[in-house]
Amino acid sequence: MFELFIPSYQGHLLAGVDEVGRGPLAWDVVTAAVILDPEQPIEGLDDSKKLTEKRREYLFDEIKEKAKSWCIARASVAEIDQINILQASLLAMARAVDGLHIKPEHVLVDGNKIPKWNYSAEAVVKGDSRVAAISAASILAKVARDREMVALDEKYPGYGFGEHKGYPTKAHLDALERLGVTPIHRASYAPVKAKLAQLQLL
């Protein structure tokens, strides 16, 4: 299933880390880190975006049950607005790896940048479809964040957070224009910033 990627590290304390939620206009960026157990293989891992919601939910529980170690972490809306989404994503990934109860000997990071840390690490472009541990991390992060967005849909009705998960769909942009900005919106993102500026002019 995975394209061939051979990391420089060949031991069993290999962690994969990924983030979900760089594009949305609202809520935290959520990350996960996973050390898989070769003795307990998990079938069907893939980029979380390529899996059905039902399959992600099933794998979410299986990963937590079978992985040697896993951790879900985040960076807040305030941190995103303060240091920008890239730096917040890297910070959240570092928190996820730091939160593993087993210290990894090597970390594979989805994307092309590595957080500032002391771990041996490699960046893997499209790693969530090339490396099983990163795929597992992407599934944990996406399911966790999606569940939070469904809960926030009840707290902030009318925006459709449970459907679009905070991404800038037409329905979300229309709701933002109609209902205004919530405390979970990212003020540094252009559509939110524009709405806030419009309100200040009124």
- pLDDT surpasses 70 at 131: yes
Q: Is residue 9 part of a domain?
A: no
pTM for this model (two decimals): 0.94
Domain that holds residue 95: 14-157
Give domain status of residue 82, yes or no: yes
Q: How confident is the model at residue 4 (pLDDT cuts 50, 70, 90)?
A: low
Residue 54, in any domain of the structure: yes
CA distances (Å), origin 64, targets 57, 149, 153? 11, 21, 26
Per-residue pLDDT reduced to its tens digit, 20-73: 999 999 999 999 999 999 999 999 998 888 999 999 999 999 999 999 999 999
From residue 93, alpha-carbon distances to 40, 150, 196, 200 in Å are 25, 23, 30, 35
pLDDT of res. 3: 55
> Which one-letter DSSP state was computed for residue 3?
P
Distance CA 179, CA 56 (A): 32
- Count up the domains in the chain and report the number: 1
Tokens of 98: 């730091």
The CATH code of the domain that includes 111 is: 3.30.420.10
Q: Is-contact 176 187, C-beta < 8 A?
A: no
According to DSSP, residue 26 is labeled B
CB–CB of 195/181 below 8 Å?
yes
Sort strands 121-124 and 29-35 into parallel, antiparallel or unpaired: unpaired
Other C-beta atoms within 10 Å of 49: how many?
Answer: 12
- Quick check: is 127 in a domain? yes
Q: Which amino acid is at 131?
A: V
